[in-house]
Structures are given as C-alpha cells and as structure tokens.
Chains A and B, each alone.
Chain A
C-alpha cells in the first residue's frame, strides 16, 4: 500500500541555517507529492507541491524536488527564520487511489534566534 516516511524530529536549528527534512514514499501508481506546514493550534496549510517526476515545487524560500528514482521529496530551505518554526508534513495522493491522501508523521522544526 501507499505510505510516506519522514525523518523524526524535533529538528533544532539556529536562524539562517540550512534546512533539510527528508521524506520518502511508497506508492503503487503515480503519486502527486505535497508538503504542508502546521502552526500550533491550527490546521495544515499547503506549502508546495509537485505532480510528476523531476518537478520542483517552491514557495516562501522552501523547495522540494520529486525524485522518482529515489522515491523521495526532501524539503529544503537555504536560510531558516524563527517564523519557520512549525510542524512539517509530507503527503502524497495516488492516481490509482485518487482523492485519498497519505501523510507522514510530521517533523517539528524549532528555529532559535
């Protein structure tokens, strides 16, 4: 079945540090991939997405590239800010099982000034 695996957190970084949060997936078909961000007490907000192999999603300085050969969709940011502190979720939707989404367990990011 489909699944998403994320690196465990929390990840603690100093402001302006480089961020990588690893995400790998298993899918039976041709998934679309997403990164969501969740701030305390709120729902999930879409951060970026990629719908086919080699696509790069980007938003607010965050980037992730859909790598079919390694079944990965790692989230990166060159210089994090305190305001980036949140929980990040990797997710997929599968063409063979559309309208059903699979989420990773989330990675908490703490950015210190």
Chain B
C-alpha cells in the first residue's frame, strides 16, 4: 500500500547539534510539506515543496532547512539555530495541481532535547 513513512519515530537532540528527520512517500505525489505540532496546538507549516528541486518557506522556517532532490523524499534538518525544537513533526503530501485533494500524513517524529 502507498503511504508516507517518517523516521525515526523518536529522536533526541543534544545542544548545538543538527538532526535530520526523514520523510519518504510512494504515492507519486508532487507536493510535500513539513508541519510542527506543539502539545494542544494545531499544525504550523515549516516548509513545503511543490516540485523537485524547489521549496518555499512556511510560517516558521527559521532554524530549519530542507531539500527536495527526489520526488519521493523531503528530509527536514532541525539546526542548532532552532532554540526550541521539542515538538511533534509531521510530513504530508498531495498530488500536484490537485486543489480538491486532501493531504496525506505520515505518523510523525517526536523530537526531544537531551
């Protein structure tokens, strides 16, 4: 079955360390997204990509970076510049140019500070 795979499920970061969260999809979707979810809160958009080799900042991009070298992969790096990285991170995708299609989500990665 097609879907979105996020790994790892749990991740711990030390002070001053960069960490990378993986997101892979086999849905053949063009657009991919990263969201951050804090306890009891909604989703905030970090970055999104509508096509390979192109991506745009979302509402809270500072301290994060992404790449989109392959259609199926959209890794997120949480850099040391992100001072409060503890959160639940969700990756999502949609078919390209499909306005009426919903987003499909992975099961998330929970990032904590050691």
- Residue positions of A touching B, CB distance < 8 A: 32, 34, 36, 41-46, 49, 51, 89, 91, 93, 95, 98-101, 103-106, 108
- B114 at the A interface (CB under 8 A): no
3 shortest interchain CB distances as A-B pairs: A43-B105, A105-B42, A51-B100
Q: Are B102 and A34 in contact (CB under 8 A)?
A: yes
Which of B11-19, B43-51, B60-68, B75-83 lies at the interface with chain A?
B43-51
Q: Are A100 and B48 in contact (CB under 8 A)?
A: yes
- Residue positions of B touching A, CB distance < 8 A: 4, 6, 31, 33, 40-43, 45, 48, 50, 90, 92, 94, 96-97, 99-100, 102-108, 110
A95: chain B residues within 8 A (beta carbon): 99
A106: chain B residues within 8 A (beta carbon): 40-42
Q: A99 CB to closest chain B CB, in angstroms?
A: 5
Q: Are A93 and B99 in contact (CB under 8 A)?
A: yes
Q: Are B97 and A98 in contact (CB under 8 A)?
A: yes
Q: In the complex, A58→B108 CA distance in Å?
A: 26
Q: B58 CB to closest chain A CB, in angstroms?
A: 8
